[in-house]
Protein backbone atom coordinates (compact mmCIF):
# COMPACT_ATOMS: atom_id res chain seq x y z
CA UNK A 1 0.00 0.00 0.00
CA UNK A 2 1.03 3.61 -0.58
CA UNK A 3 2.46 5.38 2.44
CA UNK A 4 1.13 8.82 1.52
CA UNK A 5 -0.52 10.26 4.62
CA UNK A 6 -4.14 11.15 3.90
CA UNK A 7 -5.46 11.89 7.40
CA UNK A 8 -3.36 13.07 10.33
CA UNK A 9 -5.04 13.13 13.74
CA UNK A 10 -2.96 15.07 16.25
CA UNK A 11 -3.68 15.03 20.00
CA UNK A 12 -7.44 14.72 19.56
CA UNK A 13 -9.42 15.14 22.78
CA UNK A 14 -13.17 15.24 23.33
CA UNK A 15 -14.70 16.09 26.69
CA UNK A 16 -18.33 16.03 27.73
CA UNK A 17 -18.40 18.00 30.96
CA UNK A 18 -16.16 16.05 33.32
CA UNK A 19 -16.07 12.96 31.11
CA UNK A 20 -13.08 12.55 28.79
CA UNK A 21 -14.27 10.37 25.90
CA UNK A 22 -11.10 10.75 23.80
CA UNK A 23 -7.82 11.71 25.44
CA UNK A 24 -4.91 12.97 23.32
CA UNK A 25 -5.23 10.44 20.49
CA UNK A 26 -2.89 10.73 17.50
CA UNK A 27 -2.67 8.52 14.41
CA UNK A 28 -2.22 8.61 10.64
CA UNK A 29 -4.43 6.99 8.00
CA UNK A 30 -2.76 6.45 4.65
CA UNK A 31 -4.14 6.92 1.16
CA UNK A 32 -5.60 3.71 -0.35
CA UNK A 33 -5.26 1.88 2.99
CA UNK A 34 -7.90 0.30 5.19
CA UNK A 35 -7.28 1.58 8.70
CA UNK A 36 -9.21 -0.04 11.55
CA UNK A 37 -9.99 1.49 14.93
CA UNK A 38 -10.79 -1.18 17.51
CA UNK A 39 -11.32 -1.34 21.25
CA UNK A 40 -13.86 -2.30 23.91
CA UNK A 41 -17.28 -0.67 24.09
CA UNK A 42 -16.90 2.87 25.37
CA UNK A 43 -13.29 3.16 24.21
CA UNK A 44 -14.04 6.32 22.18
CA UNK A 45 -14.09 4.87 18.67
CA UNK A 46 -17.37 6.38 17.46
CA UNK A 47 -16.50 9.67 19.19
CA UNK A 48 -13.42 9.84 16.96
CA UNK A 49 -15.67 9.34 13.92
CA UNK A 50 -18.06 12.00 15.16
CA UNK A 51 -15.19 14.48 15.48
CA UNK A 52 -13.83 13.64 12.02
CA UNK A 53 -17.22 14.06 10.33
CA UNK A 54 -18.39 17.21 12.09
CA UNK A 55 -21.00 15.77 14.45
CA UNK A 56 -18.81 16.97 17.34
CA UNK A 57 -16.34 19.82 17.45
CA UNK A 58 -13.25 18.50 19.25
CA UNK A 59 -12.28 19.97 22.60
CA UNK A 60 -8.71 20.13 21.31
CA UNK A 61 -6.45 18.71 18.63
CA UNK A 62 -5.96 18.92 14.87
CA UNK A 63 -7.59 16.78 12.16
CA UNK A 64 -5.80 17.35 8.86
CA UNK A 65 -6.79 15.75 5.57
CA UNK A 66 -4.40 16.32 2.67
CA UNK A 67 -4.63 15.04 -0.90
CA UNK A 68 -4.18 16.31 -4.46
CA UNK A 69 -2.41 19.43 -3.23
CA UNK A 70 -5.33 20.40 -0.99
CA UNK A 71 -5.30 20.54 2.80
CA UNK A 72 -8.36 20.67 5.06
CA UNK A 73 -8.41 21.21 8.81
CA UNK A 74 -11.55 19.26 9.59
CA UNK A 75 -11.98 20.61 13.12
CA UNK A 76 -12.54 24.06 11.60
CA UNK A 77 -15.16 23.00 9.06
CA UNK A 78 -18.91 22.57 9.37
CA UNK A 79 -20.15 19.04 8.84
CA UNK A 80 -21.57 19.61 5.36
CA UNK A 81 -18.24 21.08 4.20
CA UNK A 82 -16.31 18.11 5.59
CA UNK A 83 -18.37 15.90 3.29
CA UNK A 84 -18.66 18.26 0.31
CA UNK A 85 -15.21 19.87 0.23
CA UNK A 86 -12.87 17.53 2.10
CA UNK A 87 -14.57 14.37 0.82
CA UNK A 88 -15.03 12.59 4.16
CA UNK A 89 -18.23 10.53 4.36
CA UNK A 90 -19.51 7.91 6.77
CA UNK A 91 -21.96 5.18 7.63
CA UNK A 92 -23.40 4.52 11.09
CA UNK A 93 -23.63 1.70 13.63
CA UNK A 94 -27.38 1.54 12.98
CA UNK A 95 -28.50 1.61 9.35
CA UNK A 96 -29.79 5.08 8.46
CA UNK A 97 -31.29 4.66 5.04
CA UNK A 98 -34.38 6.59 3.97
CA UNK A 99 -36.58 3.54 4.48
CA UNK A 100 -39.63 4.95 2.66
CA UNK A 101 -37.66 5.99 -0.42
CA UNK A 102 -36.82 3.52 -3.13
CA UNK A 103 -33.42 1.89 -3.32
CA UNK A 104 -32.56 4.05 -6.34
CA UNK A 105 -33.79 7.26 -4.70
CA UNK A 106 -31.50 6.66 -1.73
CA UNK A 107 -28.49 6.80 -4.06
CA UNK A 108 -29.75 9.76 -6.08
CA UNK A 109 -30.46 11.87 -3.00
CA UNK A 110 -26.89 11.25 -1.82
CA UNK A 111 -25.78 13.31 -4.83
CA UNK A 112 -27.86 16.32 -3.81
CA UNK A 113 -24.83 18.66 -3.64
CA UNK A 114 -24.02 18.09 -7.31
CA UNK A 115 -27.67 18.38 -8.31
CA UNK A 116 -28.11 21.56 -6.29
CA UNK A 117 -25.15 23.22 -7.98
CA UNK A 118 -26.41 22.13 -11.41
CA UNK A 119 -29.84 23.60 -10.67
CA UNK A 120 -28.37 26.93 -9.50
CA UNK A 121 -29.71 26.17 -6.03
CA UNK A 122 -33.08 24.76 -7.15
CA UNK A 123 -34.05 27.49 -9.63
CA UNK A 124 -32.90 25.41 -12.58
CA UNK A 125 -34.82 22.40 -11.33
CA UNK A 126 -38.01 24.42 -11.21
CA UNK A 127 -37.71 25.76 -14.74
CA UNK A 128 -36.15 22.62 -16.26
CA UNK A 129 -32.68 23.89 -17.19
CA UNK A 130 -30.82 21.61 -19.59
CA UNK A 131 -27.80 21.52 -17.26
CA UNK A 132 -29.98 20.28 -14.41
CA UNK A 133 -31.62 17.59 -16.53
CA UNK A 134 -28.18 16.38 -17.63
CA UNK A 135 -26.95 16.30 -14.01
CA UNK A 136 -30.07 14.41 -12.95
CA UNK A 137 -29.54 11.79 -15.68
CA UNK A 138 -25.90 11.42 -14.61
CA UNK A 139 -26.93 10.96 -10.97
CA UNK A 140 -29.41 8.23 -11.89
CA UNK A 141 -26.83 6.51 -14.10
CA UNK A 142 -24.26 6.55 -11.30
CA UNK A 143 -26.86 5.16 -8.88
CA UNK A 144 -27.73 2.33 -11.27
CA UNK A 145 -24.04 1.48 -11.74
CA UNK A 146 -23.64 1.09 -7.99
CA UNK A 147 -26.78 -1.02 -7.76
CA UNK A 148 -25.37 -3.30 -10.46
CA UNK A 149 -22.18 -3.61 -8.45
CA UNK A 150 -23.98 -4.78 -5.30
CA UNK A 151 -26.54 -6.92 -7.08
CA UNK A 152 -29.59 -4.78 -6.33
CA UNK A 153 -30.38 -3.44 -9.80
CA UNK A 154 -33.54 -5.54 -9.98
CA UNK A 155 -34.79 -4.04 -6.71
CA UNK A 156 -34.17 -0.39 -7.63
CA UNK A 157 -37.84 0.57 -7.33
CA UNK A 158 -38.51 -1.20 -4.03
CA UNK A 159 -38.60 0.66 -0.72
CA UNK A 160 -35.16 0.52 0.87
CA UNK A 161 -36.70 -0.50 4.17
CA UNK A 162 -37.94 -3.75 2.60
CA UNK A 163 -34.45 -5.02 1.78
CA UNK A 164 -32.83 -7.75 3.88
CA UNK A 165 -30.53 -6.39 6.56
CA UNK A 166 -27.30 -7.32 4.81
CA UNK A 167 -28.46 -5.64 1.59
CA UNK A 168 -29.32 -2.50 3.57
CA UNK A 169 -25.77 -2.46 4.92
CA UNK A 170 -24.31 -2.64 1.40
CA UNK A 171 -26.73 0.02 0.17
CA UNK A 172 -25.70 2.40 2.93
CA UNK A 173 -22.04 1.96 2.01
CA UNK A 174 -22.64 2.65 -1.70
CA UNK A 175 -24.83 5.62 -0.83
CA UNK A 176 -21.77 7.11 0.86
CA UNK A 177 -19.64 6.17 -2.16
CA UNK A 178 -21.99 8.08 -4.47
CA UNK A 179 -20.41 11.27 -3.10
CA UNK A 180 -16.98 10.24 -4.48
CA UNK A 181 -15.21 10.45 -1.10
CA UNK A 182 -11.50 10.62 -0.42
CA UNK A 183 -12.05 8.93 2.96
CA UNK A 184 -14.91 6.57 3.75
CA UNK A 185 -15.60 6.11 7.47
CA UNK A 186 -17.49 2.86 8.10
CA UNK A 187 -18.89 2.29 11.59
CA UNK A 188 -19.39 -1.40 12.48
CA UNK A 189 -20.56 -2.55 9.04
CA UNK A 190 -20.60 -6.23 10.05
CA UNK A 191 -22.84 -5.68 13.10
CA UNK A 192 -25.81 -8.02 12.90
CA UNK A 193 -24.40 -10.06 10.01
CA UNK A 194 -23.74 -13.79 10.05
CA UNK A 195 -20.20 -15.09 9.34
CA UNK A 196 -20.90 -15.64 5.63
CA UNK A 197 -22.34 -12.12 5.25
CA UNK A 198 -19.42 -10.63 7.20
CA UNK A 199 -16.89 -12.32 4.91
CA UNK A 200 -18.80 -11.10 1.86
CA UNK A 201 -18.87 -7.57 3.24
CA UNK A 202 -15.13 -7.67 3.95
CA UNK A 203 -14.43 -8.63 0.33
CA UNK A 204 -16.71 -5.82 -0.82
CA UNK A 205 -14.82 -3.21 1.22
CA UNK A 206 -11.50 -4.40 -0.21
CA UNK A 207 -12.94 -4.23 -3.73
CA UNK A 208 -14.07 -0.64 -3.15
CA UNK A 209 -10.60 0.30 -1.97
CA UNK A 210 -8.87 -1.41 -4.88
CA UNK A 211 -11.23 -0.28 -7.63
CA UNK A 212 -11.86 3.32 -6.59
CA UNK A 213 -8.69 4.15 -4.66
CA UNK A 214 -10.60 5.40 -1.64
CA UNK A 215 -9.12 5.15 1.84
CA UNK A 216 -11.33 3.43 4.41
CA UNK A 217 -11.44 4.10 8.14
CA UNK A 218 -13.17 1.17 9.81
CA UNK A 219 -14.67 0.61 13.26
CA UNK A 220 -15.44 -3.04 13.74
CA UNK A 221 -15.77 -5.63 16.54
CA UNK A 222 -15.55 -8.64 14.22
CA UNK A 223 -11.84 -9.49 14.44
CA UNK A 224 -11.99 -11.81 11.43
CA UNK A 225 -12.96 -8.77 9.34
CA UNK A 226 -10.45 -6.42 11.00
CA UNK A 227 -7.46 -8.74 10.83
CA UNK A 228 -8.38 -10.02 7.39
CA UNK A 229 -8.62 -6.74 5.49
CA UNK A 230 -6.87 -3.99 7.48
CA UNK A 231 -3.50 -2.57 6.53
CA UNK A 232 -3.18 -0.70 9.81
CA UNK A 233 -4.90 -1.05 13.19
CA UNK A 234 -5.30 1.51 15.99
CA UNK A 235 -6.46 0.26 19.40
CA UNK A 236 -8.24 2.51 21.89
CA UNK A 237 -9.04 1.85 25.54
CA UNK A 238 -10.72 4.34 27.88
CA UNK A 239 -10.25 7.04 25.26
CA UNK A 240 -6.50 6.55 24.89
CA UNK A 241 -4.46 4.88 22.17
CA UNK A 242 -2.73 1.75 23.46
CA UNK A 243 -1.46 0.28 20.17
CA UNK A 244 -0.90 1.32 16.57
CA UNK A 245 0.55 -0.77 13.75
CA UNK A 246 0.07 -3.65 11.29
CA UNK A 247 -2.57 -6.24 12.27
CA UNK A 248 -0.01 -8.99 12.88
CA UNK A 249 1.87 -6.85 15.42
CA UNK A 250 -1.23 -5.43 17.10
CA UNK A 251 -2.81 -8.82 17.75
CA UNK A 252 0.36 -9.89 19.61
CA UNK A 253 0.63 -6.72 21.70
CA UNK A 254 0.26 -7.65 25.42
CA UNK A 255 -1.67 -4.45 26.19
CA UNK A 256 -4.17 -5.21 23.42
CA UNK A 257 -4.57 -8.83 24.51
CA UNK A 258 -5.25 -7.74 28.06
CA UNK A 259 -7.62 -4.88 27.24
CA UNK A 260 -9.57 -6.27 24.32
CA UNK A 261 -8.68 -9.56 22.69
CA UNK A 262 -8.59 -11.53 25.95
CA UNK A 263 -5.76 -12.90 28.05
CA UNK A 264 -3.50 -15.44 26.37
CA UNK A 265 -4.09 -18.99 27.51
Query: Is the confidence at residue 205, as pLDDT, over 70?
Result: yes
Q: What is the largest CA-CA distance in the chain?
A: 70
Is the domain defined by 1-87+182-265 classed in CATH 3.40.50.10860?
no
Mean pLDDT of the residues in the chain: 91
> What is the signed CA dihedral for 56, 7, 222, 162, rounded to 10 degrees?
60
**CATH of 94-179 among 3.40.50.1970, 3.40.109.10, 3.40.50.720, 3.40.50.300:** 3.40.50.300
This model's pTM is above 0.85? yes
**Mean local confidence (pLDDT), 202-209:** 96
- 8 A C-beta contact, residue 232 and residue 7: no
Query: Is the confidence at residue 120, as pLDDT, over 80?
Result: no
Query: Is the confidence at residue 264, as pLDDT, over 80?
Result: no
The pLDDT, as a whole number, for residue 245 is: 96
The pLDDT, as a whole number, for residue 263 is: 52
Give the orientation angle of helix 195-212 with respect to helix 165-177, to 10 degrees. 10
User: Is it true that 1-87+182-265 and 94-179 share their CATH fold?
Assistant: yes
What digits encode the pLDDT tens for the residues 4-63? 899 999 999 999 999 999 999 999 999 999 999 999 999 999 999 999 999 999 999 999
CA pair distance 22, 237, nearest whole angstrom? 9
Please report, for the chain, the start and end positions of each structural domain, with discontinuous segments joined by +.
1-87+182-265, 94-179
Secondary structure E strands in 113-220: 183-187, 215-219
- 8 A C-beta contact, residue 194 and residue 119: no
Amino acid sequence: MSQQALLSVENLSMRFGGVVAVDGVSFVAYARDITAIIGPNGAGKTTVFNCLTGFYRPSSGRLVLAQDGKTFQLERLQGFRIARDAGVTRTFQNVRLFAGMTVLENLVVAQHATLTRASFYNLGGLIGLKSYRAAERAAIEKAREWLDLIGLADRADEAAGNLPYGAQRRLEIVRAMCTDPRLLCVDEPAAGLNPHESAELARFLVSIRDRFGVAILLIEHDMSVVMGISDHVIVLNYGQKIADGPPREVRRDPAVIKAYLGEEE
